[in-house]
Structure 1
Amino acid sequence: MNHSSFSARTRQLIGSQAYQRLRSKKVLLVGLGGVGSYALEALARMGIGTITIVDGDKIEASNLNRQLLALISTVGRAKTSVALERVGEINPECRVIPHNLWLSEENVDDLLESKPDFIIDAIDQVDAKGALIEAAVKKNIEIVSVLGTGKRMSSEGFVLTKLSKTEYCPLARAVRRRVRQLEVKKDIDIIYSPLPLYSSPDQDSSKEQKNSIGSNSFVPAIAGLMAAERAINYLLAQN
């Protein structure tokens, strides 16, 4: 494939110099679920040069309703492996560095050794989010953290704001508490909705459903695309 054809519409929008700037940038994306898979897609299609992806999970049948990497043919496979193949089919010139592992306090510094230009946090787990935020702030790397997208039937209300400005979101509350414990001083960018969580009168109350959070196909996707938008616009503004 001719890369000039791949990038034609993007270059028409932002200009060739700006596009070349994106090709020189490195993004660290942690989490390849309903949010992260859509963020990855947008980054690759915009021409980001290097994307490091981190996720220790395998695709499950329950992911089919919302995760871009989830197909019947990919169930049971590592998300990082499927992501690597997908980006290769979209933008072969994008270098994808996969880490099939869970981010933790023990490995976060190693994952940031490549000195990414931007970090997208699409993790569900609070301690891992805290570890990534703490490391990003210490190393002065720009980060956006995506908060709760489950139990929502509308993307209305989702905004890019600061962590200190969040309200009514249980995950935001937990992350605020965790970063205070870690004594993180910087007020980071986050994407979230302050609107009340959705509660269906016909909600499935089985034991299996009680151990998970309901979700749909469009809210996590929109949040992931907003995270990619934040990354792209930040990188374009850098000289």
Structure 2
Amino acid sequence: MEEWLSRTRLLLGDAAIERLQHAHVMVVGVGGVGAYAAEMIVRAGVGRLTIVDGDTVAESNLNRQLVALHSTLGKPKTEVLATRLLDINPGLQLTAEQRYLEADDIPALLDREPVDFVVDAIDTLAPKIALITYCLHHKIRIVSSMGAGGRKDPSAIRLADIADTYHCGLARAVRQRLRKAGISKGLKTVFSTEQPDPRAVVAVEGERHKKSTVGTLSYLPAIFGCHLASYVIQKLTAI
């Protein structure tokens, strides 16, 4: 009876804690949104976690990302987050994959051992669509983050099916790509109903799968991550 889980146990009960401890969650993308989702899931008591990201900590991450400190600049995000998560729960079964996820990687990644839930916090379209379509076609539970950038209002964040999203350019692009794959609904998403500020977008060159950068505030990505974690935890502990 781990003391560190005593407050969670009081709220959820023994059976729910046991289900979490036997669950395996995968978080793909551990930047502004995904790192917070991963930490909240670990703090709830999940027993096994896989994190996947190919990026390193940059100075521009300091305004919002859990892994971003002056002491971690230049380090792989998965490495920094793995150290933090194991400091929360040394008994966590943790796999850290330091790589950019490509479509061809997804079958091997998801088929090598059972995964109870996937959290999609990828911010680039091609690998995001590949991951989502694979999970939906293979009936692997997944929840996906839409765009957190360019927004200020946390009260506008919603959990909804991809078919019911609006005011989000990333969600619109995901809907269009999924329709081409024969999917019109069935993907749970976290999105914002707030119209993004068009002045907060600048074009970038030379970045992998990325054509623009969007302005962000410290709290918005974190709240997106907490919404993702909440959905996963509630589904994993449901009877």
Whether the 8 Å contact between 1:137 and 1:186 is mirrored in structure 2 is: no
Question: Whole-Å Cα distance in 2 between the matches of residues 145 and 207 of structure 1?
Answer: 24
Q: Can you list the C-alpha shifts for 1:20-76, whole angstroms capped at 9, x where unaligned?
A: 110000001000011001001101100100111010000101101000011111110
Does 178-187 or 25-34 show the bigger shift? 178-187
Q: Can you list the C-alpha shifts for 1:115-168, whole angstroms capped at 9, x where unaligned?
A: 210111000011111111111012211111000000011112111100011112
Whether the 8 Å contact between 1:153 and 1:198 is mirrored in structure 2 is: no
Note closer, same or farther for the CA distance 1:97–1:205 as it changes in structure 2 (3 Å cut): closer
Runs of 4+ in 1 over 4 A off after TM superposition: 203-208
Matching of residue 138 in structure 1 with residue 137 in structure 2: yes
Matching of residue 60 in structure 1 with residue 58 in structure 2: yes
Matching of residue 178 in structure 1 with residue 183 in structure 2: no
Does 175-184 or 75-84 show the bigger shift? 175-184
Question: Whole-Å Cα distance in 2 between the matches of residues 165 and 57 of structure 1?
Answer: 31
Does 108-117 or 219-228 show the bigger shift? 108-117
Q: CA deviation at 1:184?
A: 2.9
Question: Whole-Å Cα distance in 2 between the matches of residues 53 and 152 of structure 1?
Answer: 26
- In structure 2, give the amino acid aligned to 1:214: G
Quote the residue 2:73 is aligned against.
75
Quote the residue 2:118 is aligned against.
119
Quote the residue 2:159 is aligned against.
160
Q: CA deviation at 1:214?
A: 0.3
Q: Can you list the C-alpha shifts for 1:96-132, whole angstroms capped at 9, x where unaligned?
A: 1111111121101111112210111000011111111
SS where residue 58 of structure 1 aligns? coil
SS where residue 160 of structure 1 aligns? strand
Question: Whole-Å Cα distance in 2 between the matches of residues 93 and 225 of structure 1?
Answer: 22
SS where residue 213 of structure 2 aligns? coil
Question: Whole-Å Cα distance in 1 between the matches of residues 104 and 7 of structure 2?
Answer: 42
- In structure 2, give the amino acid aligned to 1:37: A
Quote the residue 2:232 is aligned against.
231
Quote the residue 1:6 is aligned against.
4
Quote the residue 1:23 is aligned against.
21
Whether the 8 Å contact between 1:126 and 1:178 is mirrored in structure 2 is: no
- Structure 1: stretches of 5+ with no match in the other structure: none
Note closer, same or farther for the CA distance 1:135–1:206 as it changes in structure 2 (3 Å cut): closer
Matching of residue 101 in structure 1 with residue 99 in structure 2: yes
Could you tell me which of 37, 43, 55 is aligned with 2:41? Answer: 43
Q: CA deviation at 1:79?
A: 0.7
Q: CA deviation at 1:198?
A: 2.8
Identity of aligned pairs, percent? 39
Q: CA deviation at 1:206?
A: 10
SS where residue 190 of structure 2 aligns? strand
SS where residue 7 of structure 2 aligns? helix
Quote the residue 2:214 is aligned against.
213
Q: CA deviation at 1:195?
A: 1.8
Q: CA deviation at 1:204?
A: 9.4
Question: Whole-Å Cα distance in 2 between the matches of residues 50 and 204 of structure 1?
Answer: 37
- Structure 2: stretches of 5+ with no match in the other structure: 206-210
Higher strand share: 2
Number of residue equivalences: 233
Question: Whole-Å Cα distance in 2 between the matches of residues 206 and 135 of structure 1?
Answer: 30
Q: CA deviation at 1:185?
A: 5.2
- In structure 2, give the amino acid aligned to 1:83: L
Note closer, same or farther for the CA distance 1:100–1:207 as it changes in structure 2 (3 Å cut): closer
